[in-house]
Amino acid sequence: MNTQPTFSERWSPVLTVRGLSVDYEAERPVHAVRGVDLAVGRGEILGLAGESGCGKSTLAYAVNRLLRPPAHVVGGEVVFYHADGTETDVFALDGEQLRRFRWNRLAMVFQGAMNALNPVLTVRAQLEDVIRAHEPATDRRERGRRCAELLELVGVDPRRLDSYPHELSGGMRQRVMIAMALILRPDVLFMDEPTTALDVVVQREILAEIARLRAELGFAVVFITHDMSLLLEISDRIAIMYAGRVVEEGGTERVRRTPLHPYTLGLLRSFPSLTGEPTGLHGIPGRTPDLAEELDRCAFAERCPYRREVCDGEQPPLVAHPDSPAGADGRVACHAHDPSRYGTAPPESLLRGEFRPIEESEVIR
Ligand SMILES: Nc1ncnc2c1ncn2[C@@H]1O[C@H](COP(=O)(O)OP(=O)(O)OP(=O)(O)O)[C@@H](O)[C@H]1O
Ligand code: NI
């Protein structure tokens, strides 16, 4: 008998986000992140998807304590779990503590990071700077050795250490940024659209590299992208955001086979193939709601083929659905999966994964 624990049995959190809300201060404040609950498992690749403007980057910045005004956290907590069982309240860190925590525990590769390298410094100078700032006791030879080792690890010839950023291709610059983020061996690496600016072949290579590095070094990755096909390929688990909230979360295979939220369904149906051009999240009619508005309804209701009265009346909570075809794998925020609210069992077409208007015959009165 196979006694190897399965992925879900081995799963334990390295980071949890509870009730996180972030506003952008303005005449009409923008409620960009609205009570997000999310957990990242130790060593897993968690994919975070959703249309442009749904709050993915804001969430990542908030968790990494990198928000700048006019953005600010209005509620919630982020807890980091150390391997020894102790916990760190991320929002309580300040000054030196915060500096040490970042890079060491959480690191982030930003959207468009490959253009964030300093053009007048060599790769070596920029990598060594991070080590010098965080581990001043490390001597020059050791720093040099680690930088070379790391470049090699991300698939760049260590001879490139003495190159300037403009001498490198976009793909190489992005690899250098990844090396920099990994230099202090963080437990969680946030990658915000790390490959969107690159051509498809280089994108794939870098993704394969990330998967390999994760297996080798054991860090967790929160991978943010518009591209559902990339996400399905690389992630162990997936979280789908809509209008500042997580609307569905679960193992990648389950989400692919039996998506529960009509929005997830729409996303999965709106890209043509796994190998074709990255298409982004087109194809769902309608627009995302104005995030300056308070929402006391399902944010997706206007665009949802399964909309019923209750959807306009209250916001669905993100809850587990053990009775759903997905079993206990994951959670969904959708009234259609709660007969006591929806007034009928989930429509068959929804369970079959069809993104089309609910039919009269599917409504059980
Ligand atoms: N400085 C700002 N002031 C006001 N609103 C902002 C500001 N920056 C972002 N927003 C709003 O916050 C919301 C969330 O933006 P965010 O960048 O987090 O979304 P995203 O999901 O990462 O989008 P993308 O996929 O385009 O990167 C958006 O509606 C955006 O308009
Ligand atoms: Ni973003």
Residues 6+ apart with CB under 8 A from 77: 17, 18, 19, 20, 89, 90, 91
What number is the average pLDDT over the span 108-135?
90
- Is this complex's ipTM strictly greater than 0.90? yes
pLDDT number for residue 277 = 45
* Share of the chain residues as helix, strand and coil, in percent rounded to the nearest 5: 35, 20, 45
Report the alpha-carbon distance of residue 129 to residue 109 in Å, rounded.
17
CB 106 within 8 A of CB 187: yes
**Among the ranges given (42-56, 147-161, 168-182, 349-363), the one the predictor scored with the smallest mean pLDDT:** 349-363
Residues in contact with ligand 1 by the CB-under-6-Å rule are 24, 26, 30, 32, 50, 52-58, 70, 226, 291
Q: Which whole number is the average pLDDT over 239-255? A: 95
Residue 30 Cα: closest atom of ligand 1: 5
Distance 211 CA to ligand 2 centre (A): 21
Global confidence as pTM: 0.92
| Whole-angstrom distance, CA of residue 205 vs CA of residue 321 | 37
Give the mean pLDDT of 140-163.
Answer: 94
- pLDDT single digits (tens) 310-343: 999 999 999 987 666 666 678 999 999 999 999 9
Give the pLDDT score at 270. 66
Q: What is the tens place of the pLDDT at every residue in 268-290?
A: 886 544 444 444 445 788 888 99
State which of 28, 57, 190 you would mutate to test the pocket of ligand 1, scoring each by most atoms of that ligand within 8 A of its C-beta. 57
Tell whether the model's pLDDT for residue 171 goes beyond 80. yes
Ligand nearest to the CA of 49: 1
pLDDT tens, position by position, 60-69:
999 999 999 9
Percent of the chain with pLDDT over 90: 70
- What average pLDDT does this structure show over 84-103? 93
Give 192 Cα–ligand 2 centroid separation in angstroms.
7
According to the model, what pLDDT value does residue 279 have?
42
Q: Report how far ligand 1's centroid is from the alpha carbon of 201 (Å).
A: 28
Question: Which whole number is the average pLDDT over 81-87?
Answer: 95
Kindly identify the ligand whose nearest atom is closest to the C-alpha of 58.
1
Q: How far is the CA of 365 from the centre of ligand 2 (A)?
A: 42
Name which of 275, 278, 274 is nearest 227 in CA terms. Answer: 278
Task: Tell the residue nearest (CA) to atom 29 of ligand 1.
Answer: 53
Architecture per CATH, 240-362? 3-Layer(aba) Sandwich (3.40)
User: Which atom of ligand 1 sits closest to the CA of residue 111?
Assistant: 27
Q: Is the pLDDT of residue 151 over 60?
A: yes
The structural architecture, per CATH, of the domain 11-226 is 3-Layer(aba) Sandwich (3.40)
C-alpha 163/C-alpha 209 separation (Å) is 22
Per-domain boundaries in the chain: 11-226, 240-362
Average pLDDT, the chain: 89
**Which of 30, 51, 67 best tests ligand 1's pocket when mutated (most atoms within 8 Å of CB)?**
30
Ligand 2 centre and the CA of 259: distance in Å?
A: 23
Mean pLDDT of 163-170: 94
> Which pLDDT score is estimated for 276?
47
Q: Is 240-362 the same fold as 11-226?
A: yes
